[in-house]
Chain A
Amino acid sequence: AQRVTQPEKLLSVFKGAPVELKCNYSYSGSPELFWYVQYSRQRLQLLLRHISRESIKGFTADLNKGETSFHLKKPFAQEEDSAMYYCALGGQGAQKLVFGQGTRLTINP
């Protein structure tokens, strides 16, 4: 079965501090991992996917198959990073996305 766990429902950090949003997954095959973000009053949008290996808005995420994790990191948080973040798993060949419960990130000034 596919499962995604985001252990923190709420995360609060100060502007300029490093941010790490945790995501662990369970999947027997070769996974595709994504981070989606939802800013206030906006729709869910893709932030990044692991196979792209890119940095978006200063965020990066590395897939660690040994630890089955895909944590999202940013070295210096900005106030505009405050949002709801969802980790999602798409199995190889499968079309559905399995989402975690989400982490609400608040950046304090």
Chain B
Amino acid sequence: DAGVTQSPTHLIKTRGQQVTLRCSPKSGHDTVSWYQQALGQGPQFIFQYYEEEERQRGNFPDRFSGHQFPNYSSELNVNALLLGDSALYLCASSLGKTGAKNIQYFGAGTRLSVL
């Protein structure tokens, strides 16, 4: 089991562009959460997808959107990139229905740099 995989590992974009990040959950997991981790900070929750719908959302603008596919993989899209969007983007997977629902397993992240 490869665990949670994210692609790409690094990305460089310019202001105003759009970006798509991808995540494959750990085998057997059906829930994907996305976090933004700025330098020197802890991860901040962006949103979570379960059964192909956004189940919960953090305090992020509508420029941040996502999608979950039938195979449980997920994408994070960010439109109209700002310099402040530069960060490490983490994907975490978990099981949506069991008592262990809050154990989230993290990917290695995608480092996004906006110039």
Contacts and interface: CB of A to CB of B under 8 A. Distances in A.
Task: Please determine whether chains A and B interact with each other in the same assembly.
Answer: yes
B42 A102 contact: yes
Given A43-B108, A43-B109, A101-B40, A96 B103 contact: no
A95 B106 contact: no
B106 A44 contact: yes
Of B40, B101, B104, which is in contact with the most chain A CB atoms at under 10 Å from its CB? B104
A44 B43 contact: yes
Interface in A15-66: 32, 34, 36, 43-46, 49
B108 A96 contact: no
A11 interface: no
B24 interface: no
B73 interface: no
A34 to B, nearest CB: 8
What 4 A-B pairs have minimum CB-CB distances, sorted nearest first?
A: A99-B42, A96-B45, A90-B102, A44-B106
Interface of A: 4, 6, 32, 34, 36, 43-46, 49, 86, 88, 90, 94-102
Given A43-B106, A95-B31, A102-B41, 7 more contacts: A36-B106, A43-B108, A90-B102, A95-B33, A97-B102, A99-B43, A101-B42
